[in-house]
Amino acid sequence: MIANALTVILILAGLVFFAAGTAGLLRFPDVYSRLHALTKADNVGLGLVILGLMFQAGGPADILKLLLIWVLVLAAGTTAAHMVAQRTWTHGEFESDR
Amino acid sequence: MSLFYLAAALFLLGTILLGLVRVLRGPGSGDRMLAAQLFGTTGVTILLLLSLALEASALVDVALVFALLAVVAAVAFVRQHGLPEPPDTPIHRQPPDTPGPERHHDDR
Amino acid sequence: MNGLAETVAHTLAPGLLYPTGGAILFALGLYGLIRRHHLVLRILALNIMGSGVFMVLLGVAARGEGPPDPVAQALTLTGIVVAVSATAFALALVVHLTRLTGHAVMLPGPPDDDAPVEDISREEHHADGGPAESSAGEDRSA
Amino acid sequence: MNALLVLFDLVLLAGIVGVAWRCLASTDLFRAVVLFITFGLLLALAWVRLEAPDIALAEAAIGAGITGALLLVTLERLRSIMAERRSGRPHSPPPDPTGPHALLRALHDPLPEHRTFLPALSFALVVGGLLVTALWHQPQSVGLEPVVDAHMDVSGVDHPITAVLLNFRAYDTFLELAIVLIALLGAWSLGRHDLIPARPAPGPILPGTLRLLVPVAVVTGVYVLWAGSHAPGGAFQAGAILGAAGILLVLARPRQLPMAPAGPLRLGISAGVALFLLVGLYGLAAGHGFLGYAEAWAYPLIILIEVAATLSIALTLVALFVAGRPAGDDT
Amino acid sequence: MIPANPEWLPAGSAGLVALSLGVAVLATAWPRQAHRIGLLGALAVTAWVLGLSATFLHAGPDPETAATRVALGGWEAPLGLMLQLDGLSMTLLVLTAVVALATSLYSLGYVHDRIERRQFWPLWLWLWAGLNMLFLSGDAFNLYITLEVVSLSAVALVAFTGTAAAVSGAVRYLLVNILGSLSFLMGVVLLFGEHGVLDLVLLEARTEAGPTERMAAVLMTAGLMLKAALFPLHVWLAPAHGSAPAPVSAVLSGLVVTGSFYLILRLWMGVFAPLATPAFGILVGLLGVGALIWGSLQALRAGRLKSIVAYSTVAQFGYLLVAFPLMLVDPGAWRVVVFFAVVHALAKASVFLAAGTLQHAAGHDRLAELGAVLRARPRTVFALGLAGVSLMGLPFTGGFIAKYLLLEAGLGTVLAGSLIGVLWVLAIAGGGLLAAAYVLRMVAPAFHRGRRDAGEAVSPWMDWVPLALATVAALAGLAGVLTLNTLALTPGAP
């Protein structure tokens, strides 16, 4: 019961971060600030949801899998943010027309 | 409980659809790539939630694969072949140990 | 009233909803294929049509009560692999065509005209490498 | 629960169709590609809803790992070719719609885009409408599920889809492997490859990520392959994951990696079909029919074929990504 | 002589699949020896097919139970996949073997570059294996897969010369092929959704004229018509066939297109038989008349030798469409149609091979400038003419017999009181005249006075193979009775 309640609370908190990430993606003025929005959702939003889901996991293997997913998404988010920022920095923001 | 997971998944699906506005508007390719990256993360989360809502544990594996390969598109986006690099940008101020000799080995 | 509710429920069951979506995707891909001339977009349109076919197949397999039909899922998997291979090959062809002609839209295909036709059985056209090679090679060394 | 599921389905389908529509209507190729990647993500969710986790797994590996990277790199290749042409030698003029045989060409060639709106729309509407009508009239056929279920105990594996793919309809799967191979042979026949140059990493982040991802990808690939005998997974999904890891290496390698020698590469890409064929011939000789197995041998033979197929698929996908044939293939 | 044993047929069919696949895999894995593997493989596969057909004719399945069905992996339909060997597939397998053997021998001379050989042979062997599998397949989804094997390898071969024209033709061909395959697959999916089986025989037993069948018939037929370049979906054909290397053009026009047509015929004789109505037949027949006229006119105004031949394929396939309404009146007419397709494939392949020889000698194939080479190469011109005569349908050639039988069937329609039958008869007779006109266009320069110039030396293979194949096409009439008898061994067919 407590586990369920914790799950619900953590997932709800995670959703808030996702919503904030999307809002930032839509509202922020340029790429660099939008990067921040993205990382919030990646790191914290998914992290909270996964934390919540761990309370429902069947065994240590499942927990490990969930943790692995989180680590992988963290790495992907970090790399993607870095790459996009770098490309924008070197090539400018508006070079998509082809 | 599964109703809650499903509702959460539906909410996240809604954020993806909202985020599509950024892909459509751009304006730069960086913005679009960022949005795609966010969708990837959101998709992983939706899959995890659905795995509980629909009681299908295999979906965790699907989420794992998405998480694993989320970075490929971003890397492809940045590190492409023959990208004409405008001079006088930060990367060019570094010592030019860039692809010159290596390309030689590479192509033939 | 009850009958109406039942009809609606039947219509909204995944077994009917998704095949309908698949049919829409198929038609949409067809529409895009006719309208768009850039070859990359045409390839995307064909992929979308393919996804429509797979969605119909999986939707049809998920109809009814029991577990979904594994044969349909196996066929879909095979179909997806075929689609990916064809896409990769098509993209390679498009890149090659662009290298040769400078644009990635379909050339008008006047069937006869005096477009030079290279004959691979003749020696002088390929001192080293294939003819594909000799034309592509210049671009790369440049 | 049911109402919410229906809502989920409706939103998902609307999203899928909307993304596909915007993708095809896009004037910017990059936007079209990003939308197509999103389309793949949403499709995976649809496959999940249709109780097809195997397909979702394949879609994840392909959509995220293979097709997305392939399309992005194709755009970049196209762009660099165009840039080279603009700066270099003159290029042939774009197709002229009013040449000497304009009428003839109009018959042979697509109309200009703005004049196709009505014909295309009405054609697509008719096709879609007829399809929907036919689908709505279909009965709820049981399909082949009971038949497969009745034969699971003699198939050698516990996962029905793997049983269909590698035992009941092994011939289709064999030809599927052949098609991947033919696509590569076709790409190779176009010319030598055009490798993306190695570049030193611009910071510590990418190499660090690579060091984490590539081993995890290998482990995941093996896991998915192993899981295939009793749960969603299998040779193609595993091959696609390993292939995506290979593509990542090709893209992000900080320095030149040794080239794969041509002979072993040829053997590697054809190992899957070759082994499959040998097993099939053995079945023919032993009286189980072409591509048949003795019941006791089914499991080990299926695993053997799957391992070879995984390796071949992974290699072939990476080679398709690189596109041209290796220089060593011509010596 | 050992008496032929009907028990050999299943193993023989599976063995044919395994053998042709084995040759292709071997050539892929060992490209350096690909041409040698290919030559040996071509001989072996041809021998195997001929042996199989001899067994089939002697010990053949009795016409009642008819087709030999092979359960692959020992799994019977509906669970497993079945191969299916009957008179129709046997005839086309033999046709494939003859044309493919000729093409292989020709390619020994045509593709002689060391590096090109390695690319050409594996793809060509996959194409051949794909065709063999297509004719043997008895399962709707498997047909889709084999169609893909055929079309991907065919596209790669079209792009083979690597010129802008060839690659652009290949891209068009690939897109058309993928579209056709997807349309076909959607039809298969509809049928599977309705009936829950994929096996053609089981499907045939379950189909009736419902909305699913109608839509599936439309989708599958349209997809295959695209692939077969049947009028009006033919626009991709000339660029692809005209710019491919000569042996590839020969196989595309002779076999690949025939393969799609075979499938249309098979589906309409089996699964979709309940849907065939006279109105539908007349519609198809009108398309055929359109194809005859349009293709012939294009062939008459084309400036390049290979384009003329490519357009004549569009025209000649018009005959096959015209035959559809005849088949509805006289159910036995389908055998004549297949016989016509066989003769056409042989003649068309030899014309393309001869054209390839001339193109090689002259360095181009612009008809206006080919005179000197034509005058200096009587052997090739003779091959061109002999095959052309067969295409026109002059007496004593295979083409004559085929057209004669078609006309007979058409007159039968008229006698049966169908007014529109007159149109079919006129089309069949008039098409022959148009064919005569474009064939004469091709060979006429040889009889003008003028300079002779043999041009580039050609290998003996390229010199003799077209002539040999053209002779086979001309003599195919002698095998007419044999072919018709073989075809009679098709189950469910009148």
Does residue D95 form part of some domain? no
C-beta separation of C40 from D70 below 8 A: no
Q: Could you tell me if residue C47 is left (phi over 0), alpha (psi between -120 and 50 degrees) or otherwise beta? A: alpha
B41 in contact with A at a CB cutoff of 8 Å?
Answer: yes
CA distance D90 to E168: 19
Band the pLDDT of E73: cuts 50, 70, 90.
confident
Mutation pick from E13, E17, E25 vs chain D, by most beta carbons of D within 10 Å, is E25
CA distance B63 to B46: 9
Final residue in a domain of this structure, among D59, D84, D109:
D84
CA distance E115 to E121: 11
Residues near B21 by Cβ (< 8 Å), separated by ≥ 6?
Answer: A26
Is B2 buried (19+), middle (13-18) or exposed (0-12) by CB count in 10 A?
middle
Residues 89-118, chain C: which have Cβ within 8 Å of E? Answer: 89-90, 93-94, 96-97, 100-101, 106-107, 109, 111-118
Segment B2-22, tens digit of pLDDT = 888 899 999 999 999 988 888
E210 in contact with D at a CB cutoff of 8 Å?
Answer: yes
pLDDT of residue B64: 92
pLDDT of residue C117: 44
State how far the alpha carbon of D40 is from the alpha carbons of B6, B31, C84, D35, D37, in Å.
Answer: 21, 19, 12, 9, 5
The domains found in chain C, sorted by start residue, are 2-136 (1.10.287.3510)
What residue of C is the nearest CA neighbor of D127?
Answer: C27
What residue of C is the nearest CA neighbor of E166?
Answer: C117
What's the structural domain count of chain D?
Answer: 2
pLDDT of residue D195: 61
Query: At C12, phi and psi to the nearest 5?
Result: -90, 0
Q: Do both D183 and D276 map to the same domain?
A: yes
Does residue D296 form part of some domain? yes
Q: Do both D157 and D71 map to the same domain?
A: no
Determine whether the interchain pair A79/B75 forms a contact, defined as Cβ–Cβ distance below 8 Å: yes
- Domain of D188, in residue numbers: 152-331
pLDDT of residue B106: 35
Determine whether the interchain pair C86/E148 forms a contact, defined as Cβ–Cβ distance below 8 Å: yes
Determine whether the interchain pair D176/E145 forms a contact, defined as Cβ–Cβ distance below 8 Å: yes
Q: Do both D78 and D168 map to the same domain?
A: no
Nearest chain A CA: its distance from B56 CA (Å): 13
pLDDT of residue E424: 81
- Domain of E286, in residue numbers: 279-494
Which residue among A71, A82, A96 places its CB closest to the CB of D203? Answer: A82
What's the structural domain count of chain E?
Answer: 1
Which residues in chain C have their CB less than 8 angstroms from residue D124's CB? Answer: 27-28, 30-31, 34
Does the pLDDT of residue E227 top 90, yes or no? no
pLDDT of residue D1: 61
3-state DSSP: chain B helix, strand, coil percent, rounded to 5?
75, 0, 25
Which residue among A11, A31, A34 places its CB closest to the CB of B8? Answer: A11
Does residue D246 form part of some domain? yes
Q: Do both D48 and D165 map to the same domain?
A: no
Determine whether the interchain pair D270/E15 forms a contact, defined as Cβ–Cβ distance below 8 Å: no
C129 in contact with D at a CB cutoff of 8 Å?
Answer: yes
Does the pLDDT of residue E331 top 80, yes or no? no
List, run by run, the mean pLDDT of 10-residue segments along chain C (142 residues).
68 83 94 86 94 93 82 93 94 89 65 43 38 34 32
What residue of E is the nearest CA neighbor of C92?
Answer: E171
Q: Do both D328 and D204 map to the same domain?
A: yes
C-beta separation of E307 from C111 below 8 A: yes
Determine whether the interchain pair B6/D1 forms a contact, defined as Cβ–Cβ distance below 8 Å: yes
CB atoms within 10 A of CB B96: 9
Percent of chain E with pLDDT over 70: 96
Do C and E make contact via 3 or more CB pairs under 8 A? The reply is yes
Final residue in a domain of this structure, among D33, D49, D84:
D84
Residues 44-73, chain B: which have Cβ within 8 Å of A? Answer: 44-45, 48-49, 52, 57, 60, 63-64, 67-68, 70-71
Which residue among E162, E196, E311 places its CB closest to the CB of C130? Answer: E162
Determine whether the interchain pair D11/B75 forms a contact, defined as Cβ–Cβ distance below 8 Å: no
Final residue in a domain of this structure, among D84, D111, D143:
D84
Determine whether the interchain pair D144/E153 forms a contact, defined as Cβ–Cβ distance below 8 Å: no
Determine whether the interchain pair C119/E236 forms a contact, defined as Cβ–Cβ distance below 8 Å: no
Does residue E79 form part of some domain? no
Determine whether the interchain pair D206/A83 forms a contact, defined as Cβ–Cβ distance below 8 Å: yes
pLDDT of residue D88: 62
Nearest chain D CA: its distance from A2 CA (Å): 23
What residue of C is the nearest CA neighbor of E364?
Answer: C117
Segment E133-170, tens digit of pLDDT = 999 998 999 999 999 999 999 999 998 888 888 888 88
Segment A48-69, tens digit of pLDDT = 999 888 888 878 888 898 999 9
Which residues in chain D have their CB less than 8 angstroms from residue E81's CB? Answer: 168-169, 171-172
CA distance D206 to D216: 15
Determine whether the interchain pair A73/B44 forms a contact, defined as Cβ–Cβ distance below 8 Å: yes
Q: What number is the ipTM of this complex?
A: 0.91
C-beta separation of E373 from E388 below 8 A: no
C-beta separation of E92 from E258 below 8 A: yes
Does the pLDDT of residue E100 top 80, yes or no? yes
CA distance E191 to E302: 42
CA distance C67 to D112: 48
What residue of D is the nearest CA neighbor of B44?
Answer: D41
Segment D80-107, tens digit of pLDDT = 777 777 766 544 444 444 433 443 444 4
Of A69-83, B75-89, D211-225, E474-488, the poorest mean pLDDT is in: B75-89
Segment A19-36, tens digit of pLDDT = 888 888 888 887 787 887
Determine whether the interchain pair D205/A98 forms a contact, defined as Cβ–Cβ distance below 8 Å: no
Does residue E361 form part of some domain? yes
Does residue D103 form part of some domain? no
C-beta separation of E199 from E70 below 8 A: no
Does the pLDDT of residue D214 top 80, yes or no? yes
- Subunits adjacent to chain A (3 or more Cβ pairs under 8 Å): B, D
B25 in contact with D at a CB cutoff of 8 Å?
Answer: no
Determine whether the interchain pair E18/D277 forms a contact, defined as Cβ–Cβ distance below 8 Å: yes
Segment D284-325, tens digit of pLDDT = 888 888 888 888 888 889 999 999 999 999 999 999 988 778
pLDDT of residue E3: 60
Does the pLDDT of residue A37 top 70, yes or no? yes
Does the pLDDT of residue E441 top 80, yes or no? yes
CA distance E353 to E334: 28
Do C and A make contact via 3 or more CB pairs under 8 A? The reply is no
Helix (H) or strand (E) holding E83: strand E82-85
Does residue D249 form part of some domain? yes
D103 in contact with E at a CB cutoff of 8 Å?
Answer: no
Mean pLDDT in chain E? 85
Does residue D145 form part of some domain? no
pLDDT of residue D288: 82
What residue of C is the nearest CA neighbor of D190?
Answer: C132
**For E98-123, what is the mean pLDDT?**
90
C27 in contact with D at a CB cutoff of 8 Å?
Answer: yes
Of C97-111, E122-136, E170-184, E306-320, the poorest mean pLDDT is in: C97-111
Segment D123-177, tens digit of pLDDT = 888 888 888 888 888 887 777 888 888 888 888 888 889 888 888 999 999 999 9
Mutation pick from A68, A72, A89, A95 vs chain B, by most beta carbons of B within 10 Å, is A72
Band the pLDDT of E412: cuts 50, 70, 90.
confident
What residue of E is the nearest CA neighbor of D109?
Answer: E235
Helices and strands counted in chain C (H then E): 5, 0
C-beta separation of E250 from E193 below 8 A: no
